[in-house]
Structure 1
Amino acid sequence: MSLQGRTSPQAGASTQQARAATGRRTNVRWMLFVLLLVLVTVNYVDRGSISVALPLIQQEFGLSPQLTGLLLSAFFWTYALMQVPVGWLIDRFGPRKVLTASCVGWGAATAASGLTGGFLTMFLARMGIGVAEAGVMPAGGKLNAIWMHPKERGRGATILDAGAPLGAGVGGILISGLIALFGGWRTSFLIAGLATALLGIAVWWYVRDHPRQHRSVNDAEAEYIEASHRAEDEEAAAAGATTRRALLPYLKFRSFWAMCLGWLGFNGVFYGLLTWGPLYLSQAKHFKLASIGWSTFAIFGAGFVGELLGGLLADRLRAKGHGANAVMRSLLGISSAIVTLGLVGVTIVGSPLAAVALLSTVLFFLRWVGLFWSVPAILGGRTNAGVLGGAMNLAGNIAGMVTPIAVGFIVGATHSYTGALLYFVASAVIMGVAVLALDYSKRLPV
């Protein structure tokens, strides 16, 4: 079988042929997704760094709760607005180029945020981070469609998305540690930005748009992936759904809107805790900076573990023959119920440790909804996974735009976080309704 898109030397070709002759598949697809896990982790370290440093930034810049909420929302305005355009770019030019450009761009913008002198310049720097980071998750969704067998996409989706809680958790310790080490928040932002830009080199070196373009993939692994794609394509051809489409034809389907609303509700909870969680621990529970870092790690670290286990559980249930709808609706329905009840519990308990324990439980089950990153490929196939992933992330980041501002006004008006937590409860209810309404079993016939 010929290798497409490769110009490897003869020695490399001989090595690959030798591997193929053994009949054992290489596992490059999993290594690629480990790299994506690292990438998304760093993404969320940078994205959440402002939240950890916020008590210091709020004091230095003299920010009211309302201005604080506006500053926290700045990232999401440009991030959300870029989702559909960047999804089209991914489908058109491939995820590798978009991911590399994203790394370099958001690293530069993160470093620039460490040089800001006030609200306006920090607001603009955060908007710049939003533009640069916009392509990461839709590109990951596209790579999940291209590189993964359908039976592995649950794990692929959650490995990709697990970087979000891991980055939020690690970022809490890392940024607070850098602040303590250097005596201020600015140097921590500069260091984080430089590390991100360097990560772009690793992305360009290892990521490929198709398995056969990767020098370490043998024929057995490539054929394993391609055989599953052929079966998908035959099914899609029977439904007339193999052509690259714009977004408009999808708007008439319930599952498209359920996908978008599910992700919107999910991010109403997650981004609320990501942006305001550290300040909640500081102001409502009176945690010091070091305690905020470790508590954030515990809360979001639980989300990381939960997400990986959720993906593993979904794929195992599918492998046992359970249908897509039975698996996804049961897992995500349970997740939504526990998240809703856990958030209600946080409004009741008075103990700081009990609040951290409940929030850790909330994040553990909330992150099961990371399985949604397999949905764009289900509904649109490999061809349209980029634009559908962009639309889904656009909806999710509308919550990112609204939530920090809404929480800021609620806290400013009531001088309490109870109303903010009830806002998160409402978001969880929206998520629960949407995950049960979505049909996970077939591609949309557009």
Structure 2
Amino acid sequence: MSAINSTQSKQKPTIVRWMIFLLMLLLGAINYIDRTSLGIAMPFIQEEFGIEDASTVGMLHSAFFWSYALMQIPSGMLADRFKTRTIITCATVVWGGFQAIGAACHTVTLLALTRIGLGVSEAPIMPAGAKLMGTWLTPTERGRGSMLLDGGAPLGTALGAILLTWLIGHFGSWRIAFVIAGVGTIVVGLIAWFYIRNTPKEHSGVNEAELELIETGIQQAGGTITKKNRMRDIIPYLSQVNVLALIGGWCCYSTVFYGLMVWVPAYLQQAHNFNVKEMGGAMFVMFMLCFIGQQIGGVIADKWRSSGAPSNKVFHTLLAISAIVAGVGIFLCANSSSPTMAVVLLTIALFPLRWASVYWSIPGLLGAQHMAGTITGTMNFASNMTAAIVPIIVGFMIQWTGSYYAAMMFFATAAIGYLICSMLINFNRPMALKED
């Protein structure tokens, strides 16, 4: 028996947990390729459908966010109650179907309905991913885990800009591009079913060393709780400054990121006279570097915390840099007339912006892992309600002023809100309630 234990102690842990989160990164990237497909294809859709005003464009963009937002709390509860593997697979296959069906639409109303379906079916992915993080990663790995889980946003936006502009150019049809994107999504959803498991113990690829590493890390942080949650269970948490700051910060951050994601293609084309290929190339550069910056932030957070640095110091520093650089970059971009400088400044603004992804790990880090799905679902519900309203507001701003200046100032102001809320989060104050 001692020989066996000695062998196991020398065994190198497998990396199944990181393979799962790389797969979640891929799912997240496809998620955002499908989301951004409308923005990339919008000039062609506007021409084909006869859409002339920016307010209608804003309404189309907001259709996704309304449905996505309204499903966040129910999706968080699903993640807390049911098996994450099943939720992730079903959601991915269904949203791929809605993406492909969008290619058959010939009216604004029908296209908006497919975007609503896309929002409903994509909603469970992030709350389910937050639950996976709590069962698969140790606390000192969750900074990197958060960045991988949420890294699909900039990566998918970058790849989508190149992939969708190429498909549209190659086939001469935004409809074919939508079908290819939808079918690809369904295929990856099936791959997720075959590889992801709900817990490390269920995965045949996890060896004893990796299982011990995960279980020991989680137990030292307080273990896992399997309590079933109801919707009203979130109410006591809403009196906490930490939870309210988490929700407010994520709303402000989302205003910045989704505002840029949705409107930058049109901004570059209309304010700086980029053609489709130039716009796609600029979007790729900006959001790919945003993705790289996000992963660097995750590594810094985990290594800094592993060295024994206080959580408040680590996260407050990173989040402050994220918010300040984003706000200043957007402000300077709005006051620049150079197309090249606009791309450079937006790239600088986006590089650390996604460090906000650590928000997904905060409930688990602060002792509320059993409520992580519901808390992050509530957080994402509020932010996506904001994201649903923002395209409409920005559309009317552009329509009334005839420029993008006011919209860019709006995004810069939201970065200030993101900074203030992030500084209000106290990482030394547990989220868990006494009765927990």
Q: Is the 8 A contact 1:96 1:209 kept in 2?
A: yes
- 1:213 is aligned to 2:214: no
CA contact (8 A) 1:336 1:366 kept: yes
Shift of 1:244: 4.8
Alignment match, 1:193 = 182
Aligned to 1:253: 240
- Is this contact kept in 2: 1:20–1:218, CA < 8 A? no
State the shift of 1:154 in Å.
Answer: 0.2
* C-alpha displacement of 1:228: 1.8
Q: Counterpart of 1:216 in 2: which secondary structure? A: coil
Does structure 2 conserve the Cα–Cα contact (< 8 Å) formed by 1:155 and 1:308?
Answer: yes
Alignment of 1:151-162 (within 5 A): 151-162=140-151
- The aligned amino acid for 2:252 is G
Deviation of the 1:242 alpha carbon: 8.2
- Structure 2: runs of 5 or more not aligned: none
Residue 382 of structure 1 pairs with residue 369 of structure 2: yes
Q: Give deviations 1:110-139, integer Å, cap 9, x for gaps.
A: 001111101100110000000000011111
Residues 379-388 or 78-87, more deviating: 379-388
Give the aligned residue type for 1:36.
M
Alignment of 1:167-206 (within 5 A): 167-206=156-195
> C-alpha distance in 1, partners of 2:47/2:5?
62
Q: Alignment partner for residue 325 of structure 1, among 290, 312, 318?
A: 312
Amino acid corresponding to residue 407 of structure 2 in structure 1: A
What code does the residue aligned with 2:59 have? L
- In the alignment, the residues of structure 1 paired with residue 257 and residue 46 of structure 2 have an alpha-carbon distance, to the nearest angstrom, of 22
Distance in 2 separating the partners of 1:166 and 1:18: 42
Instruction: Please tell me whether the aligned partners of residues 98 and 114 of structure 2 are also in contact (alpha carbons under 8 angstroms).
Output: yes
Native 8 Å contact 2:368 2:432 kept in 1: no
Q: For each residue in 1:48-83, what CA deviation from the matched residue of structure 2 results, as whole angstroms up to 9, or x when unmatched?
A: 011011111112112211110000000000100000
Paired residue for 2:127? 138
The size of the alignment, in residue pairs, is 427
**Contact kept? 2:62, 2:391, Cα under 8 Å:** yes
Q: Which residue of 1 aligns with 2:91?
A: 102
Question: 1 CA distance for matches of 2:15 and 2:375?
Answer: 27
Aligned equivalent of 1:359, options 318, 333, 346: 346
**CA shift for structure 1 position 17:** 10
Matched, 1:166 2:151: no
User: How many Å apart are 1:406 and its aligned residue?
Assistant: 0.8
Superposition misfits of 4+ residues, deviation over 3 angstroms? 16-22, 241-245
Change (3 A) 1:278 1:372: same
The whole-number CA distance in structure 2 between the counterparts of 1:422 and 1:59 is 29
Deviation at 1:442, TM superposition (A): 4.2
What root-mean-square deviation, in Å, do the aligned CA atoms of Structure 1 and Structure 2 show? 1.8
**CA–CA distance in 2 between the matches of 1:19 and 1:81?**
51
The 3 A distance-change label for structure 1 pair 232 and 61 is: same
Correspondence for 2:357 among 370, 379, 391: 370
In 2, distance between residues paired with 1:173 and 1:230? 44
TM-score, with normalisation over the residues of structure 2?
A: 0.95
What are the equivalent positions in structure 2 for 1:300-315 lying under 5 Å apart? 300-315=287-302
Q: Is the 8 A contact 1:158 1:373 kept in 2?
A: no
CA drift at 1:247:
1.1
